[in-house]
Structure 1
Amino acid sequence: MKKKVIGVYAPANAAHIWFEEKYLFAKKQLEDMGFEIVEGNLVKDKRYQGYRTASAKERAEEMMELIKNKDIDIMMPVIGGYNSGSLLPSFDFDEIGKSQKKFFGYSDITAIQLAILKKTNLKPIYGGSLIPTFGEYEGISPFLKNTLDNLFFKENYTLEEPEFYSNKLLNAFTDEWKNKKREYIKNEGWKILNEGETEAEVIIANIDTLVSLLATEYVPNFKGKILILEEMNATIDSEERNLNTLKLSGVFEGIKGLIFGKPEVYDDRNSDLEYIDIIKEVLGKRDYPIIYNFDCGHTIPSLIISQDSLLSLKANHKTGIKVEILKNSYINS
């Protein structure tokens, strides 16, 4: 069987240069899993402009060059960061759609994923950036392996909570990421804000990145969907602003369900408010099921979900929470 080929590009931060050893480690882990890696020209040539590799146009050209390579099956960013949205005006969406490639990524890569959802028939995959997902020095966890097996091979499956999770950053500018064991926390489990049952296609997005795209031509219609929202750095004052912006923009109207992921970092700004408190305050009363503390986003390990998959959400205080993929768009598109 032909090896699956991953095209690696840097649409945002230049983490493959900042954390070169971790980048090479992650790349080797994917190769050991049986993938072949093809680097984009900016990654391969180690182009560098501090917070990014090159101009937005050059970063878009790197991505489009990989997309035109017919040997490449999967597109994967080295990491997220900031400013992937800057690439969107330079994309050839007809070419992207024709490529039928699988686009992985999360966080700032939300910008690329939502634009592809809006402009093509492709279904990107939320999760799976090279360095943060495959650069764990402990290796590929059983949870990640199971998540990938479900994604790649199963048409329907139940999404499971990890028993433990970590939101403790390990410094990759030093050797800490290799020398210090990651600290894990007992998972409190997914929690219910609003009971109910629903079934719909799912869209996953990073809150901060979604807000930066509002009122542009690159945002798909959320009506009739289940929406999963996640955040890396949830400082409560900025979260109130972001959530209120989504509310005023109508994002929470007409959806069929809402799921909030665990933030990697939470700062209550001396308010004594929990993350869920500001969610409740901004959302008010809703007639669809809402759960939170979900494991999709920046905490480790994290679920990887193909956008527009048909998802079932059941939330009941007596019987608990059940989240299922009824039709996996990774193998049905």
Structure 2
Amino acid sequence: MKYPEPLKKGSRVAITAFSSGIAERHEKRFQEVVRTLKQRGYDVVVGDCLKSRKKHVSAPKEQRADELLRFLTDDNIDAVAPPWGGELAMELLPLLDFKRISRAKPKWIFGFSDVSTIAASINSVVGWATVHCSNLMDLVDTNVEPLIANTLNHLETPVGGTFVQTGSENHTRKWPEIETEPLAYVVGETKTQWKWLVRPMSVDAVSGRLIGGCWDTLFHLFETPFLALSELNSKYEEGLLLYLENAEMSPCDLVRTIHNMQFRGVFNNVNGLILGRNLRADSQIEDDLTYLDVLTEHLANKNIPVMYDVDIGHVPPNLTLINGSVAEIRLVNGQGSITQWLK
């Protein structure tokens, strides 16, 4: 695994939108994010593909790909982060020169949602450790929720180091009103409880090298040149630990997606499956299929441990999950924790 150098004072962070950019109404929040980064001693470079939101994206795909490639191959840059996700990061993948990227100094790529489309692919194809975590626009210094407030601290972990996170106390489906309150932060109001759908045979933990992200986008990439889990699994003696979270797929979409994964052999190439909280609300019609129905009927029979309602994705807060790290996720009596080793 090729780990980027830990962030530190003097590290240069480049900001460019892989997918959705920021509108004028987000500018004050963006400036607070930049201030927070500079207060930590980071140098900030702002790209051209950022301050626009036209037809779902910040700029044409060729321009976004060119800027991303320029940042990824610039050895003076230590991290590349978009403001948040979006819808169409996938269209950049065929335009990226992965051979050039592989010759460059590894850089942190971090965020969640559509950010994970690029992050997981870079990890798979190039072998850089990348990060699924709170988005850049979430990272202001007023945060009090530990999982969010410690995001950048974890990216300062040295290679060979270890860090531990425990499950959040509370989570929320309400995002802060950053357009009117630039320093607003996530406040949870619902008790968090990670849950086993399928327990491991002999212990209350599952382990392996992490890979994953947004279920909505990544299932399109499984066993393609951009995310070949079978190849990754063959490389790592620890095996793979796949984490996913659903943003927009309906229960029927999820059924089709799980069958798609079965057809491609995904479940034969992972030690376990870790699922974040489901963002899409279930139908209120009594006989309609629900999210938990889908998990119970279609994932409980894959002969792998499955955990769900973990702090991953669109129902914050978010764990910091480093793709490529060796991880152990433990859940005992409703108390969840994850240890990651950068080795």
Which TM-score tier does this pair reach, normalised by the shorter chain? 0.7 to 0.9
Residue of 266, 273, 277 corresponding to 1:251: 266
User: Which residue number in structure 2 is paired with residue 200 of structure 1?
Assistant: 208
Structure 1 segment 182-331 matched on structure 2, within 5 A = 184-196=188-200, 197=203, 198-214=206-222, 216-221=224-229, 223=233, 224-268=239-283, 270=285, 271=287, 274-315=290-331, 322-328=336-342
In 2 relative to 1, CA 149–171 (structure 1 residues): closer, same or farther, beyond 3 Å?
A: closer
- Is the 8 Å Cα contact of residues 222 and 228 (structure 2) preserved in structure 1? no
Q: Which sections of structure 2, spanning at least 5 residues, go unmatched?
A: 1-7, 234-238
Distance 2:272 2:129 in 1: 20
Q: Measure, in 2, the Cα distance between the counterparts of 1:152 and 1:216.
A: 32
- The TM-score, its normalising length taken from structure 2, stands at 0.83
**CA distance in structure 1 between the aligned counterparts of 2:290 and 2:167, rounded to whole angstroms:** 21
Contact in 1 for aligned 2:52/2:59 (Cα 8 Å): yes
Ranges of 4+ aligned residues in structure 1 off by more than 6 Å = none
Change (3 A) 1:151 1:47: closer
Q: Which of 162, 169, 175 in structure 1 is aligned with 2:168?
A: 162
Contact 2:222 2:229 in 1 (8 A): no
Distance 2:139 2:150 in 1: 14
Query: Residue 89 of structure 2 aligns with which residue?
Result: 84
Name the structure 1 match of 2:32: 25
Superposed, 1:95-174 pairs within 5 Å as 95-97=100-102, 98-131=104-137, 133-134=138-139, 138-139=142-143, 141-153=145-157, 155-170=161-176
RMSD: 2.7
Offset at 1:15? 2.3
Higher helix share: 1
TM-score, normalization by structure 1: 0.85
Letter of the 2:196 partner, please give it. Answer: I
Question: Could you list the per-position Cα deviations for residues 177-224 of structure 1 after superposition, in whole angstroms to 9, with x for gaps in the alignment?
Answer: 559885522323111111114331111221111123245311131543
Distance in 2 (CA, whole Å) between partners of 1:56 and 1:190 is: 38
2:210, 2:242 within 8 Å by CA — same for their partners in 1? yes
Runs of 5+ consecutive residues of structure 1 not aligned to the other structure: none
CA shift, 1:262, in A, is 0.8
How far apart are the structure 1 equivalents of 2:65 and 2:151? Answer: 30
CA contact (8 A) 1:207 1:231 kept: yes
TM-superposed deviation, 1:122: 0.8
Distance 1:277 1:265, change over 3 A: same
Q: Is the 8 A contact 2:194 2:336 kept in 1?
A: no
Letter in 2 for 1:26: V
Q: Which residue of 2 aligns with 1:3?
A: 10
Native 8 Å contact 2:193 2:334 kept in 1: no
Question: Residue 38 of structure 1: SS of its match in structure 2?
Answer: strand
| Worse-matched range after superposition: 138-147 or 47-56 | 138-147
Q: Is the 8 A contact 1:119 1:218 kept in 2?
A: yes
